[in-house]
Amino acid sequence: MNKRKLLILIEDVIQKTSDLELSAVLPKVLTIAKQLEDKDFEKWLLLETNGYFNTNPALTKDVEVPKYRKVAGQYNDKYGRPIIIEDPILYPASNYPMREGVAELEDFTKKRGRLLLRNPFVNETLSKAWGIEVDTFIFRGNSLKSVISEIRNHLLSWLIVKQKEINTSFNEIGVNPDVPLALSSLHPLVQKTAGELYLNGHYRQAILDTYIALVETVKTKSGKNKLDNTPLMQTVFSANEPIIKVSNDHDEQLGFMWLFTGAVMGIRNPKAHRLIEQNDPQRALEWLSFASVLLRVLDDAQIV
């Protein structure tokens, strides 16, 4: 999956995160994390999805249940009697570490009344610390809404950061990330020059500006800044004495000279000198594609 598609997917997930349950969003975000090769966040997603249990391979020795997953409630002994913690130092220990996966946490929030959990590992740990036999933990489902909210916020923060990073990478190469997907496969100079114009329906101007940019690029590469259009192309791509060599084959070099010449004679010049209506986005894209091919040929060509 290329960055353009990832950017679209990230935007889609950001838009839907507030409407969908997290359990429906996490698999999509896991796909994004895998594509971006963010191993740490991928691990966090697997823990949040499948729970902080020993049966989850993502739960390594260095992992602890996050603080945001600790929920206030009431511990009882095996007779159902509340365990009163009088030592203030032990107050934090009375908050239960919710190890369950996000889907189960969401189910808890939908249940009314008091809910009961019995976790042998937690009970044994607290029994040793308190000197009292702990049996159950009682809490209310709506107390988990803050946990879900924290997970959602962490998720959104990561997505926004990745969105900015991808946008920055596009900006560094002069590509507009908002251009249509079909245009995004073309040469970066075409995207930079024509992207916004094409997006706004200014097809004629998009084509004209792109072919002007093509001419300027040929000038820059060849150093023939005083020449323009047809004389420029026929001089620098000459089959006999080329300044920019596309091929060692005489006929192929000649063919590309005429392709570059035709680009300015048949496309650039008519659109510059007279108004030509261009209302078809597909036809405009095809003209831009031709410019893209010429620019890539130019990139690979050698200066003689």
Q: Which residues contact 102 (CB under 8 A, 6 or more apart)?
A: 22, 23, 26, 48, 49, 148, 151
Chain-centre distance for alpha carbon 177: 11
8 A C-beta contact, residue 23 and residue 103: yes
CA 238, CA 261: separation in Å to the nearest integer?
11
Query: What is the rounded distance in angstroms from the CA atom of residue 214 to the CA atom of residue 289?
Result: 12
Residues 6+ apart with CB under 8 A from 177: 4, 7, 166, 167, 170, 171
The 10s digit of each residue's pLDDT in 90-108 is 555 568 889 999 999 999 9
pLDDT recorded at residue 88: 58
Sign of CA dihedral 236, 218, 197, 205: negative
Output the pLDDT for position 215: 94
In this predicted structure, what is the pLDDT of residue 277? 65
pTM (2 d.p.): 0.56
How high is the pLDDT of residue 154?
94
Which distant-in-sequence residues (6+ apart) come within 8 Å of 240 by Cβ? none
CA atoms within 13 A on the CB side of 264: 20
d(CA 139, CA 223): 76
Low-confidence ranges of the chain (pLDDT < 50): 273, 275
Describe the crossing of helices 22-35 and 39-50 by its angle, rounded to 10 degrees.
160
Could you give the CA distance from residue 161 to residue 168 in angstroms, rounded to a whole number? 11
Question: 228-234, long-range: CB within 8 Å, 24+ apart, which pairs?
Answer: 229/264, 229/265, 229/268, 229/269, 230/261, 230/264, 230/265, 232/264, 233/257, 233/260, 233/261, 233/263, 233/264, 234/261
